[in-house]
Structure formats: C-alpha cells, structure tokens
Chain A
C-alpha cells in the first residue's frame, strides 16, 4: 500500500485519471472544478501528455474527442454551466462511440446559481442532458478515495464499451480533503480499447448487434476510416435507412444494459434487518451514514444504500431491499431527481419520502435523523 496522504477530491480525480493512463486534457476554468485543470496542466507535460485550455467548454469536449480518436485517453472537467454547453458533443461521443471521461463537479444551479456551494441538481442532466436516446454511464464518488477509484473505473468503462462516462461529484466532494491511502499503481486494473486485427477491409462500426463493441483503430494508423455524427452503418458512412438506424441505436443501448452487471457498484450499511432505508449518493450520503449510525445507536433499525453507479441505476439491489423495508428516505441536494428513479424502482412497495435541501449547504446528520425518526414514530 502507498503512504497515507491528505488529499483533495479534485486532486484524487486527477491522480485517478493519470493512473488510468490519462494523456490528454482539454478544459475551461469553472468553479468548483478548476483544480483538476490546474493539476493536469502541471502533471501532463511530465508524462508526455498534452494539456490545453480551450476557448469554451464546447471546444473542450470537442478537443478530447479528437484526441481520443488518435488513441489518447482524454478527459475534461467542468461544473453545471459548462456541462450544459458540452451536451451536444457528449451525444456525439455516444453515437461515434468515442471513449472520453467528463468530470462534473456539481454546484448550486440552475444558471450561475451558487458557484461555491454544493448541490446534486445535475443527476438527470448527466443521464438525459443531450438530445435523443444515447448511451452514457455516470459514476458518483462518495468520498475522496472514491474520486480516485471511480475515475480509474470511468476510464476503464469508457475504453471497454466505447462511450462517454461522467464522474459526478459536487463542490464538497471536490474540495474537501481526507486522509487517503491510494492503491499501488501496479495493483490497478487498467483496460484499453480493443484494436482491430484485420489489416484490410476494416469496418469501424461492425459489431454484434446485441450490444457488441467494435474494435477501434487510431487516426494516423493507416485504416483511413470515416467517423460522423450522422447515423451510419457498419462502414461508418452515413445511412438514413430506417432499419440501419434502428439496429444501430439499439446496439448502443444494449452496450450499457449488457455492461450493467459488471459495472454495478453500491455501498450498503446495516441493511440486513433495517425497516427504514436511507438512499443517498455523493456528499448527501456522508451525512446519511452518520444519521443511520446515530439511529442505530438509538435502537432504530435504519440502513443506508449508496449507489456509486447512478446510471445505469442498480435496480435489482434496491428493489430487493424495497421488498422488505417499511419506508425509504431519499435525502438529496435538489428538489428530487434520483428520488424519481428510486420511486420507480421501489414501485410503491415502500413509501418514499424525499428530503430536499437546496440552500447550498450540506445536510446535517440531524436533519436526516429527524426524517428517519419522523417516520419511525
């Protein structure tokens, strides 16, 4: 194991990216994510990587997609306003199946909102921000160490399934410092995109219709292939035949569905015999954990379910819990977004109570404990 270090969340994301093989960063300054750009500017030249501060976030996501097409592992980081600007090209990365990682350090929105205060209002945007059905995976670290681990995982998922992966943190997770013992680099699993073998007749988008992932050649390698945001067939050239579009879109969707069991990730505590289940992610889950522990100390059977994969949502695990608990409490720093998914999954097997905090402050454990008690009476 490495030496313990006091580390900031944004820093841990960057080190995770570097550990996964990051060698291209394009970004634009925006609170509360800018430390990631600053650290990349400093670290990448040391390892033969490239850093560029683009003219805006649209340019940033475009540049990392371009870089990824030449074979580099590319990332950008932003917050709400920038994340909104990036959406069209995130969709492009989806249809062109280009692996990229986007870190969204959430802040109070909408619009300029409260740049230095935490919130969780980008949950639905992370899933549905860009138009049309499209594949995307969203991971949510719950502490500084997970910023490292889930950024590595984000790169692995992007490379293995050839799609954009969002790491969703917030101002607190991004800026807080914790003592962290990072794994040795040698212990880390780092995956890379599958390269095409066939020298001739390469079809860039030929893959098993049931969620197959096509091998990806690099620009400048002699394959001379075409990439477009238009719907295309397996040759990569535009096609507006209905059946081609239908097959292609369903394959993109199936990629994520088939990946779900392998990438599913959540944390639970005291859920074996709980009758009040708190479901929370990110920084809300930190307050929830101490609330659950205080409830247990007071003899209340509470438990915590903390999804680390937000999209695709770990449905089975939650549904199984929803069957046997009496009530579910969802503390979120928004007016109810992941709660919608939790209500859908628990399917009125257990009533869901939303605890919404939207004043830019973290939940105090007592607030969540009150919600646990409120229902526990």
Chain B
C-alpha cells in the first residue's frame, strides 16, 4: 500500500437521496450502504475516489471530495437557506 494513499470524504445530501441503491451496487470497493433508506459511507477509508457513485447518482445526493485538497467542505446543499434570491444581473 503506498504511504500517500489518498483519503476521500463523502458529502451526502440526505434530503435528496431516494435510496435507489445504484451507488451502493456499483461501488467497486463496497464503501457505501443504505441506512434507513439513505446512502451512508460505511467504509470511507476503502474509497479509491473513482466517483462512480457521484457520476451515476440520479439525485446529485453524493459528492466525493479528496481530504486535504483545497476544496472546502461545502455544507449540505440541501439545507442551504434559499431565502436569498438568486442574483440576476444585466
């Protein structure tokens, strides 16, 4: 195992997940499970970052982020306050 084995983080938008099981079934490393109908990263350390779950998810409910990468951990988009109107500019 190379020392710099990358670690990945699973950003899950529970409110959007419909428990269709596609991500769980096709994860090459069986990282994911359904827990009371929602996707859950049971073995996050097994994740190799192939993103197949993210790309195949019909509900945009799972996102893979490499730990320690510059990307900041976005909050669960489904809990964003939508009172702020989307800006529209000329």
Q: Do chains A and B touch in the complex (CB under 8 A)?
A: yes
What residues of chain A have their CB less than 8 Å away from a CB belonging to chain B? Answer: 199-202, 217, 221-225
Which B residues are CB-close (under 8 A) to A199? 87-90
- Asked if B35 CB lies within 8 Å of chain A CBs, one says no
Q: Chain B interface mostly helix, strand, loop or mixed?
A: loop
Chain B residue with Cβ nearest A224? B88
Q: How far is the CA of A39 from the CA of B45 in the complex (A)?
A: 71
A200 to B87, CA, bound (A): 5
Q: Which residues of A contact B74 (CB under 8 A)?
A: none
Please give me the residue from chain A that is nearest to B88 by CB atom: A223
Are the CB atoms of B89 and A222 closer together than 8 Å?
A: yes
Cα distance A58–B88 when bound, in Å? 33
Which secondary structure characterizes the binding site on chain A?
Answer: loop
Contacts of A224 in B (CB 8 A): 86, 88
Residues of B within 8 A of A201 (CB): 85-86, 88
Q: Which residue of B lies closest to A203 (CB)?
A: B85
Q: How far is the CB of B15 from chain A (nearest CB, A)?
A: 19
Complex CA–CA separation, A202 to B90 (angstroms): 11
Q: Which of B65-81 contact A (CB under 8 A)?
A: none
Leading 9 A-B pairs by shortest Cβ distance: A201-B85, A223-B88, A222-B89, A202-B88, A200-B87, A199-B89, A222-B88, A200-B85, A200-B88
Please, how many angstroms separate the alpha-carbon atoms of A224 and B88 in the complex?
Answer: 7
Whole-angstrom CA separation of A350 from B89 in the bound complex = 59
Which chain B residues border A200 with CB–CB below 8 Å?
Answer: 85, 87-89
Measured between beta carbons, the chain A residues less than 8 angstroms from B86 are: 201, 224
Cβ of A222: which chain B residues have Cβ within 8 Å of it?
88-90
Q: Distance in Å from the Cβ of A219 to the closest Cβ of chain B? A: 12
**How far in angstroms is the closest Cβ of chain B from A333?**
50
**12 more A-B contacts (CB under 8 A) besides A199-B89, A201-B88, A224-B88?**
A199-B87, A199-B88, A199-B90, A200-B87, A201-B85, A202-B88, A221-B90, A222-B89, A222-B90, A223-B88, A224-B86, A225-B88
18 A-B Cβ contacts within 8 A?
A199-B87, A199-B88, A199-B89, A199-B90, A200-B85, A200-B87, A200-B88, A200-B89, A201-B85, A201-B86, A201-B88, A217-B88, A221-B90, A222-B89, A222-B90, A223-B88, A224-B86, A224-B88
Please name the residue on chain B nearest to A235 by beta carbon.
B85
Distance of A225 Cα from B89 Cα, bound (Å): 12
Q: How far is B89's CA from A222's CA once the two chains are assembled, in angstroms?
A: 5
Residue of B87, B88, B90 with most partner-chain A CB within 10 A: B88
| Nearest CB of B to A197, in Å | 10
B88 to chain A: which residues have CB within 8 Å? 199-202, 217, 222-225
Chain B residue contacts of A202, Cβ below 8 A: 88
Q: How far is the CA of A222 from the CA of B87 in the complex (A)?
A: 9
Q: How far is the CA of A223 from the CA of B86 in the complex (A)?
A: 9
List, in ascending order, chain A residues with CB within 8 A of B87's CB: 199-200
Chain B, residue nearest A200 (CB): B87
The CA of A170 and the CA of B89, in the complex, are separated in Å by 46
**B36-61, CB under 8 A of A: which get 1 and which 0?**
00000000000000000000000000
Q: How far is the CB of B8 from chain A (nearest CB, A)?
A: 33
By a CB distance below 8 angstroms, the chain A residues around B85 are 200-201
A200 to B88 alpha-carbon distance, docked (Å): 5
Residue in B closest to A223 when the chains form the complex, CB atoms = B88
A299 to B77, CA, bound (A): 84
Shortest CB-to-CB span from A45 to chain B, Å, is 29
Q: Which residues of A contact B89 (CB under 8 A)?
A: 199-200, 222
- Chain A nearest Cβ from B19, distance in angstroms: 25
How far in angstroms is the closest Cβ of chain B from A294? 62
Identify the closest chain A residue to B85 (Cβ): A201
Task: Give the distance in Å from the alpha carbon of A217 to the alpha carbon of B90 in the complex.
Answer: 10
The smallest beta-carbon distance between A214 and chain B, in angstroms, is 14
Measured CB to CB, the nearest residue on chain A to B87 is: A200
A201 to B83, alpha carbons, bound, how many Å? 10
Q: Tell me, in angstroms, the Cα distance from A222 to B86 when the chains sit together.
A: 11
